[in-house]
Amino acid sequence: MSRGWSYVSGDWWILCDVCSRKIKASESKKRWDGFQVCADDYEQRHPMDFIKARADKISVPFTRPQPTDQFTSVTYADTQNTTIPSGTNNGEL
């Protein structure tokens, strides 16, 4: 392994994708994210990236159908009173 401007047949210079240091291609490594990096910047993919989460069970064990709405008919007494009575509120009950 050599440093500097030495010639190695079949080898070439590249720049590290992280630190831009000039390194020989034979000294570089391809990282999990596709970057071609020097040995100092090489890192393995974190194991947590491979954990596959289970799908949550969000349904209840059983259900019942929603009942139909029931309406009650109300008959109002007709007082024949169509005016608003006059008066004031003095705050007493």
* Binding footprint of Zn ion on the chain (CB under 5 A): 16, 18-19, 21, 38, 41
Nearer to Zn ion (CB atom), residue 14 or residue 18: 18
What is d(CA 30, CA 42) in angstroms, rounded to the nearest whole number?
A: 8
Output the smallest distance, CB 35 to Zn ion, in A.
9
Nearer to Zn ion (CB atom), residue 27 or residue 41: 41
Output the smallest distance, CB 50 to Zn ion, in A.
25
What is d(CA 77, CA 64) in angstroms, rounded to the nearest whole number?
A: 40
Output the smallest distance, CB 9 to Zn ion, in A.
24
* Buried b / exposed e along 66-91 (16+ C-beta atoms within 10 A): eeeeeeeeeeeeeeeeeeeeeeeeee
Nearer to Zn ion (CB atom), residue 21 or residue 45: 21
